[in-house]
A and B are shown apart, each in its own frame.
Chain A
């Protein structure tokens, strides 16, 4: 399973995560320890509080019992009775006797006597010094607690005094006890902190409510407190230790890992941004051996990579150059031209400018080749390319796009300047001494120029795409002239070139080529000599209403208008439709003719991709004319072998119509050789010619190619063809070109 993007984080984030996780875990443990200890402490405190409460209850009960007992003793004291009966010496008794007697206990604030009516027997002498003096009259026999302050409260208790031998009430005795002092001094507390005893200041209360108004704190448990303090110290120590540890870890991590990694990352980033820099290796020495090794490795690797990159660049440049350089002339080839042209087309609308398309062609080059041989022909091509290149302004390149065709694209210059450049080139070519390479005749060159003034164009792209064809037409015009070897395209040229063909026919042909309408594809059988098998050569026919246009007129228009690629594309499309509709008889096949221009288009292989599904049931042959193949042998090999590897068969058409075909016979990327009709007819010629034809046929067969002889119209011719070694025969004798629909209908 692929990792989520958010998992990819800097090492610092992971370190921080683990550090925080560790600290959090530790904090939780410490917190838990603290919590547990606090629970124990709380439980201990509650227990201590319970014990303290229990102790306090006992102390309070004992205090009340003791005080009550003391009060009863006091009430039974003879001298009390004496004073009630005769208070003549009350003050003396009260001050000199009572307070010195054992009845006036510690923490007694006051002892007073009351008469039978509960009125104070004698007013106290020191009333002003008392915080809570006993009342003048007893309001209730119940004991009462009188509050003065949180630490002062006085318990007032009263006891009736009866006669010894009767229930005759003599009076009352009242005592006021400083309760807090009494409790503290009369008891030794074990669980209560005596100094913490305090009162809630309220109105006087009686004994039953006493407990709820007295508060205290338990005696501090020194062991527990010490333990608690120790634990708190431990927790503080842990926190400090964790903090120090964290800081230390951070510093160590920073020093050991983060900084080296950051340095290395920066180093790598720097290398990425400054690929040519090889001397920026970090000066810092890392503590971790692996980082140090990694630093050196990166440096060494980058250095090696740069070396390799340079080598690759060199190789790439070499390959790129080779791919785009014509091997013969060392100028740009057709591929380079296509790339440049496609780039120009793609960007032209965004950057329109005046542009001139100059097409150079050597007149009668084929004848030259036939006369002087290919080596001289190649010399002529090399000299022509070099001369044009040297004559051109330095910013322009010349491309070899065909056997003897050269193209120069002039941008951002008006037509007259382009014309001047072409003129200069033509002059240089004329002045070149071709006698030096053994050519005795004067060579002539034709130049066609088409120009697009962008400011006058309403369809920049369309007009641009027309420039090659227009230059071709202009060059055709130049070839026809002996004096004006440089021609600029004008629309009038198209009309002139087709003066023998009616405009209706021309329009119909052009429309048919562009739309597919009016095309009636015909098939002519190519029959196997050995087996009862055949395949068909596809032949274009155009028919509109009653107008039937013959191939001669069609190809005349195509040639004049340079519509070779368009018509090939249309034929291929029509044949694909025929396959798709099942119009092609089974166990047969089809051969499709393509021109040299179509072969040289960059998408040539792609044109046949839709036919791949039909290869298993049909034989599909692509026919290339001999001159096209030989003129572009290297490029053609690459393209045609690709198609062959896919299952297509390649047929070399019109073999023998050109020159030096035999020289390439052994290595041509083809499967089938079709003799030119002139060679078939030559089988009726003199014996010597027939022998040459037979020998040539034998060589073809020996080289492993199938051999097709076309133009066989008689039985005699058929027999001679068979004897010559033909594997397939094509001609009116066996079958005439027939509409696909008719063939399909007959099936």
Chain B
């Protein structure tokens, strides 16, 4: 009861604060030239003294997903500039979630290119200090990007609900992988249904698309995290059901890396309900700790 009352009070206070600040968020449209796609992002300009924060949604989601908007709103209320792009997933100006059953032709590489485009755009807007925040697979994609990024404006990265994408414990079927690899080798990019993440066997994707994300397996992810050149913070939900598949050992593995691991006990994968604010507090705390 006490937690619930606290949750309500926080909600009301943040809403009122956001209203008082009157932060004007706008949609930014960008042509992703190599693919001739139009991408959109919500851009809210904050205080110049504070770093800009790029917030990336999870798998098949958009920047309207509540975890993203929650983080954006809270950061904007703190005076941070925020940019929350929606990965096109090969759909210009995509506005809605992409279903498992939708045709998936997008690849991890394309996603990284779009992320790079938005970081560059943010940098071009005069933001010299950029902090990356990702949720779920968005964290993986930012991790992959940050590992290879050369942009000096990137100062740190906050990874929430960070897991990996490939591994038998996640349901990935080796025969499907083999088959997809064979098709791709033969340059046959015919879409098929695959067992992937929460889509079970309904993930309808081209072999190229499917295989591209399998790159992010457990060891590769940990290695990226280990080898990052910028500070990294990893915020995990203690009650994330992904642990049912990957086990709590994943937290230990993360602990073994140089990342700063924070676990919010009781929170689910999306930090919904009252844990939304815990996440916000943690992120704001992290941002406020970083030197200007």
Contact = CB atoms under 8 A, between A and B. Distances in A.
Contact of B29 (A82, A93, A165): A165
A96 B103 CA distance: 8
B91 A81 contact: yes
Contacts of A101: 99, 101-102
A20 B91 CA distance: 90
Contacts of B69: none
Nearest to B37: A85
Interface string A352-371: 00000000000000000000
A164 B37 contact: no
B40 A92 contact: no
A691 B40 CA distance: 190
B64 interface: no
Nearest to B202: A100
The secondary-structure label for the interface of chain A is helix
Interface in B71-129: 90-96, 98-99, 101-103, 105
A100 B99 CA distance: 11
Contact of B93 (A77, A92, A164): A164
Which residue, A76, A78, A86, A100, has most C-beta atoms of chain B within 10 A?
Answer: A78
A272 interface: no
A89 interface: yes
Contact of B190 (A85, A86, A92): A92
B95 A92 contact: no
B101 A97 contact: yes
A97 B101 CA distance: 6
B103 A92 contact: yes
The interface size bin for chain A is 10 to 19
Given A78-B94, A164-B95, A93 B101 contact: no
B30 to A, nearest CB: 11
The secondary-structure label for the interface of chain B is loop
B206 interface: yes
A163 interface: yes
Given A78-B91, A164-B93, A89 B206 contact: yes
Interface in B139-156: none
B103 A93 contact: yes
B38 interface: yes
Nearest to B206: A89
Nearest to A101: B101
Given A85-B37, A89-B191, A96 B92 contact: no
Interface residues of B, number: 23
Interface in A71-115: 76-79, 81-82, 85-86, 88-89, 92-93, 96-97, 100-101
Given A92-B190, A164-B40, A82 B95 contact: no
A97 B103 contact: yes
Nearest to B36: A85
Given A85-B37, A163-B38, A97 B102 contact: yes
B204 interface: yes
Nearest to A83: B103
Contact of A89 (B27, B40, B105): B105
A660 to B, nearest CB: 166
A165 B190 CA distance: 32
Contacts of A165: 27, 29, 40, 93
B91 A92 contact: no
Contact of A85 (B29, B92, B103, B191): B92
A222 to B, nearest CB: 46
Interface string B171-215: 000000000000000000011000000000000101000000000
A75 to B, nearest CB: 13
A92 B190 CA distance: 8
B140 to A, nearest CB: 23
Interface in A163-182: 163-165
A88 B105 contact: yes
A532 B204 CA distance: 171
A599 B190 CA distance: 159
Interface in A55-82: 76-79, 81-82
B253 to A, nearest CB: 36
Contacts of A89: 103, 105, 191, 206
Contacts of A88: 105
A43 to B, nearest CB: 54
A101 B96 CA distance: 14
A163 B93 contact: yes
Given A92-B190, A92-B191, A78 B101 contact: no
Interface in A141-175: 163-165
A77 B97 CA distance: 10
B103 A81 contact: no
B220 to A, nearest CB: 28
A556 to B, nearest CB: 167
Contacts of A78: 91, 94-96, 98
Which residue, B91, B204, B206, has most C-beta atoms of chain A within 10 A?
Answer: B91
A97 B93 CA distance: 20
A88 B209 CA distance: 14
Given A78-B98, A85-B37, A92-B191, A97 B90 contact: no
Nearest to A164: B93
B250 to A, nearest CB: 33
Contacts of B37: 85
A163 B90 CA distance: 15
Contact of B92 (A77, A82, A92, A93): A82
Contacts of A76: 95
A165 B204 CA distance: 29
A89 B101 CA distance: 14
B91 A96 contact: no
A76 B91 CA distance: 12
Contacts of B36: 85
A101 B37 CA distance: 24
Contact of B101 (A82, A86, A100, A164): A100
Interface in B12-55: 27, 29, 36-38, 40
A86 B103 contact: no
Contacts of B90: 82, 86
Nearest to A76: B95
B93 to A, nearest CB: 4
Nearest to A79: B102
Contacts of B101: 97, 100-101
Contacts of A82: 90-92, 94, 103
Contacts of A96: 103, 191, 204
Nearest to A93: B103
26 contacts: A78-B98, A79-B102, A79-B103, A81-B92, A81-B93, A82-B91, A82-B94, A82-B103, A85-B36, A85-B37, A85-B91, A86-B90, A88-B105, A89-B105, A89-B206, A92-B191, A96-B103, A97-B101, A97-B204, A101-B99, A101-B102, A163-B92, A164-B40, A164-B95, A165-B29, A165-B40
Given A77-B96, A86-B90, A97-B101, 9 more contacts: A78-B94, A79-B91, A79-B103, A82-B91, A82-B103, A96-B204, A101-B99, A163-B93, A165-B29
Which 3 pairs of residues, A with B, have the shortest CB-CB distance? A164-B93, A82-B91, A93-B103
Interface of A: 76-79, 81-82, 85-86, 88-89, 92-93, 96-97, 100-101, 163-165
